[in-house]
Amino acid sequence: MTTRRKFLTTASLGGASVLAAPAIVKAQDTIKWRMQTYAGSALGAEVTKPAVDFINNAANGALEIELYYADQIVPTGELFRALQSGTIDAVHSDDDSMAAPTDVTPFGGYFPLATKHALDVPVLFEQYGLADIWRNAYADVGVAWLSAAGQDPCNFNTKQPITSLADMAGLRLYTFPTAGRFLSQFGVVPVSIPYEDAEVAVQTGELDGMAWSGITEDYTVGWADVTDYFLTNNISGAWIGSFYVNQQKWSDLPDYLKGVVMAGIEASHTYRNQWYWGGEARLRASGEKLQLTSIPPEEWMVVEEAGKVFWDEMAETNETAAKIVSIFRDYNNVTSKAGPPYTFG
């Protein structure tokens, strides 16, 4: 007969074996995702890799994300289709660049004059309802939208100085689809090329510069090495970009790993906020590669007035667009009444 002592001994050994089994199974059944970012490798190391590193470390082998940079698996303009079909599992991009077939798409990236600071973006999404609008828009097309955040403003870095609106006429600039549409009324010629080709395109004369980022990115990715001037006026105070996952892959992910993914994304938002905010100030103040220029406020008012007309035109396209424009107007009314630092001047 089995004695009580022998039973406890074998039960203890059996228990250890049973407890060890899930760790072995988890290691064998690691969930693997491929994620592609809109950013090239130099920029991606700052804007996307911190989130991926956080998730991979915190998931402890249960989820492993392999990061790819701009155009490495598919061109940026095909990111949405690749995500929807499962060619890739996750994306960090703006809606505009990846040509998502949703009503929110023109408002991603740099929607003209919608924001003044990076912190405007999470406020708009979390306090003014944009998160629900984005989440529902992507659910309708089989993609899980997870989170949005602001980054740098949309300034101009060019070979020629810009000190008046007239100086924009004829400039061939690498920029975002909706931003390019807006800028074309001032004579800008928007050019769409692969991200990694932009620097060489300036050197060969195919481009006159970029309306794609703030000064932090200009220095980080090498654009400050091929252009000479930086216009301090911007057409948008913050890039609106998001993280997305294939709907089925997100549904299949255990809840605790969904929590890990969201924690990594939110931590990366915090990192980008300080990286951009500090970089924009430091490089304007002490950067030696780009000479700063500006268009006088009274002349820049023409651009701001054109922005109001552009908003009206966008609001007429569909019900969702009208709702988003209304939210932008409500928020801008609040910040205008609040004054600095919510507004400039």
Average of per-residue pLDDT across 15-31: 53
Work out the percent of the chain whose per-residue pLDDT is above 90: 90
CATH superfamily of the domain spanning 155-237+287-338: Bacterial extracellular solute-binding protein, family 7 (3.40.190.170)
pLDDT reading at 174 higher than 90: yes
Per 3-state DSSP, the chain is made up of helix, strand and coil in percentages (nearest 5) of: 55, 15, 30
φ/ψ region of 296 (left if φ > 0, alpha if ψ in -120 to 50, else beta) reads beta
* pLDDT class of 344 with cuts at 50, 70, 90: confident
**What is the average per-residue pLDDT within 40-58?**
98
Q: What is the pLDDT of residue 343?
A: 84
What pLDDT was estimated at residue 3? 46
User: Cα torsion for 76, 125, 328, 181, to the nearest 10°?
Assistant: 0
Cβ atoms of 42 and 221 within 8 Å: the answer is yes
Kindly tell me if the per-residue pLDDT of 40 is higher than 80.
yes
Phi-psi region of 205 (alpha: psi -120 to 50; beta: other; left: phi over 0): left
Domain ranges, ordered by start, for the chain: 31-152+238-281, 155-237+287-338
Q: In what order do the strands lie in the sheet with 31-37?
A: 63-68, 31-37, 90-93, 240-246, 143-150
Residue 148: pLDDT band (50, 70, 90) is very high
Task: Determine the Cα–Cα distance for residues 319 and 178; give it in Å rounded to an integer.
Answer: 18
Overall pTM > 0.85:
yes
Q: Which DSSP symbol is given to 36?
A: E
pLDDT category at 242 given cuts 50, 70, 90 is very high
Q: 266-299, pLDDT tens digit by residue? A: 999 999 999 999 999 999 999 999 999 999 999 9
Residues 6+ apart with CB under 8 A from 163: 293, 294, 295
**pLDDT, mean of residues 40-61:** 98
Specify the pairing of strand 31-37 against strand 240-246: unpaired
What's residue 8's pLDDT?
Answer: 40
DSSP 109: B
Average of pLDDT values for 78-102?
97
The phi and psi torsions of 2 (rounded to 5 degrees) equal -75, 125
Instruction: Give the model's pLDDT for residue 11.
Output: 43
pLDDT at residue 345 in the model = 54
Mean pLDDT across 29-49: 97
Residue 245 pLDDT > 70: yes
> What pLDDT, on the 0 to 100 scale, is given for residue 13?
38
Q: 6 pLDDT exceeds 90?
A: no
Confidence (pLDDT) at 2: 43
CA distances from 274 to 150, 151, 224, 282 (A): 11, 10, 21, 12
User: Class of the 31-152+238-281 domain?
Assistant: alpha beta
Give pLDDT, residue 14.
42
Whether 4 shows a pLDDT value over 90: the answer reads: no
Asked if the model's pLDDT at residue 307 lies above 80, the reply is yes
Question: What is the pLDDT, as a whole number, of residue 10?
Answer: 43
The average confidence (pLDDT) of the chain is 93
The sheet with strand 209-213 has its strands ordered as: 189-191, 172-175, 209-213, 155-158, 229-231, 291-293
